[in-house]
């Protein structure tokens, strides 16, 4: 089959923009549809943490590719990747987390990741964080953080340079057989391929087109606090919270609600309990006293097996969703892989484990957050 020449991408977050750029530079004519401004959805609410500390080989291969590309982009325009070790720890008395951490690090090392286990005292010798309650920690060296908004701005410019057309401000629906995009139920144009990269809204768009996917939205929360913090990124497995350096001090989160959320009716404001608990966690770990600059909530997409849904759901109709909070982190790799699959590039395709058709789309499953020792730390 000939490579598609006219491609629509629905969604201008990190993933959608990367796909659009990569298929455009491969020779396709690309139109991006976005109902708001580029990056105004979940990408703009992302934490921006990046690492390759995974225990599964398929995750490692994607993360390694993403990290390589992120570093190559750093310093272009306003986009900067800040090299920052990633620390994941278990507290005293949490034997289950300690065992999971030991096992995860061993599997990461099997896959060649630069990760080591350290005691609380060893952690204190290296980083300016509180460690007297740490039973065991892992330190991943190949890690850091970046501003997701700067990534969006960079790729909007790269897309424009590659000739990508932007259609911003309209809600759309998807058509199949043949692929198309409609505004107010009127098909605006026919395409050789349509890529749906609209985050949790991908489920409705594809269901309305007759292609249900196994995706559930769930709510997460984060805040930025002003303080003097110059330490590593930290994931506390016992407390199920994370923090990373930020230009004004610290970005902290989790506040995960492990239940399905309504993607059209949800609270974008951070809960009072989350702000209180998150500030307490930051004070405890960093021994600073942050003042809240802003706090917010976002929606992540869950799948039954925690792997994303990336690939064709029908001839000429593709999806890229279900990231469990890793969409920004994986966008540089998954955008290239999906673009390679769409354009039928030799040796460049999405891993079979991410095939969206591995599920029927009507599965019953429990929402599980993405940042856990069992999955990625």
C-alpha distance across the termini of the chain, in Å: 41
- pLDDT of 346: 86
- Tens of pLDDT, residue by residue over 122-145, are 999 999 999 999 999 999 999 999
Q: C-alpha angle 7/5/344, rounded to 5°? A: 90
- pLDDT of 376: 41
pLDDT band at 1 (very low <50, low <70, confident <90, very high): low
| For residue 14, cis peptide bond before it (omega within 30 degrees of 0) | no
- pLDDT of 373: 59
Beta bridge partners of 7: 30, 193
Say yes or no to pLDDT of 81 above 50.
yes
pLDDT band at 190 (very low <50, low <70, confident <90, very high): confident
Distance (Å, rounded) from C-alpha 235 to C-alpha 138? 10
SS (H, E, C) 3-66: CCCEEEEECCCHHHHHHHHHHHHCCCEEEEEECCCCCCCCHHHCCCEEECCCCCHHHHHHHHHH
- Do you know the residue count of the chain? 377
Distance (Å, rounded) from C-alpha 96 to C-alpha 130? 21
Distance (Å, rounded) from C-alpha 182 to C-alpha 224? 38
CA nearest to 197, candidates 376, 356, 1, 75:
356
Beta-carbon contacts of 341 under 8 Å, excluding residues fewer than 6 positions away, are 311, 312, 318, 348, 349, 350
* pTM score: 0.95
Read off the tokens for 135: 């039973």
Q: Sign (positive/negative) of CA torsion 147, 149, 150, 154?
A: positive
């Amino acid at each position: 089959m000939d490579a598609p020449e006219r491609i629509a991408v629905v969604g201008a977050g990190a993933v959608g923009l990367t796909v659009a750029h990569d298929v455009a530079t491969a020779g396709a004519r690309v139109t991006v549809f976005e109902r708001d401004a580029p990056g105004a959805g979940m990408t703009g609410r992302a934490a921006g943490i990046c690492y390759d500390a995974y225990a599964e080989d398929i995750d490692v291969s994607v993360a390694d590719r993403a990290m390589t590309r992120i570093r190559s982009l750093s310093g272009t325009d306003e986009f900067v990747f800040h090299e920052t070790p990633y620390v994941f720890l278990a507290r005293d008395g949490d034997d289950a987390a300690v065992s999971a951490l030991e096992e995860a690090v061993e599997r990461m090392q099997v896959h060649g990741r630069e990760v080591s286990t350290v005691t609380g005292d060893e952690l204190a010798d290296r980083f300016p964080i509180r460690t007297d309650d740490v039973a065991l920690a892992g330190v991943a060296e190949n890690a850091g953080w970046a501003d997701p908004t700067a990534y969006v701005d960079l790729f909007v410019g790269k897309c424009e340079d590659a000739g990508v057309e932007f259609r911003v401000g309209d809600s759309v629906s998807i058509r199949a057989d043949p692929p198309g995009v409609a505004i107010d139920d009127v098909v605006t144009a026919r395409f050789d391929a349509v890529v749906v990269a609209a985050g949790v809204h991908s489920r409705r768009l594809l269901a309305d087109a007759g292609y249900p996917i196994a995706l559930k939205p769930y709510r997460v929360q984060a805040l930025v606090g002003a303080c003097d913090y110059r330490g590593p990124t930290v994931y506390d497995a016992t407390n199920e919270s994370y923090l990373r350096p930020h230009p004004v001090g610290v970005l902290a989160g989790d506040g995960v609600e492990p239940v399905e959320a309504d993607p059209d009716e949800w609270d974008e404001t951070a809960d009072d309990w989350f702000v209180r608990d998150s500030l307490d966690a930051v004070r405890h770990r960093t021994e600073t006293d942050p003042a809240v600059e802003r706090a917010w909530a976002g929606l992540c997409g869950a799948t039954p097996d925690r792997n994303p849904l990336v690939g064709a759901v029908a001839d000429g109709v593709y999806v890229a969703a279900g990231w469990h909070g890793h969409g920004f982190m994986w966008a540089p790799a998954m955008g290239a892989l999906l673009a390679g699959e769409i354009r039928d590039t030799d040796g460049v395709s999405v891993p079979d484990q991410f095939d969206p058709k591995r599920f029927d789309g009507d599965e019953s499953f429990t929402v599980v957050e993405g940042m856990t020792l069992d999955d990625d730390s």
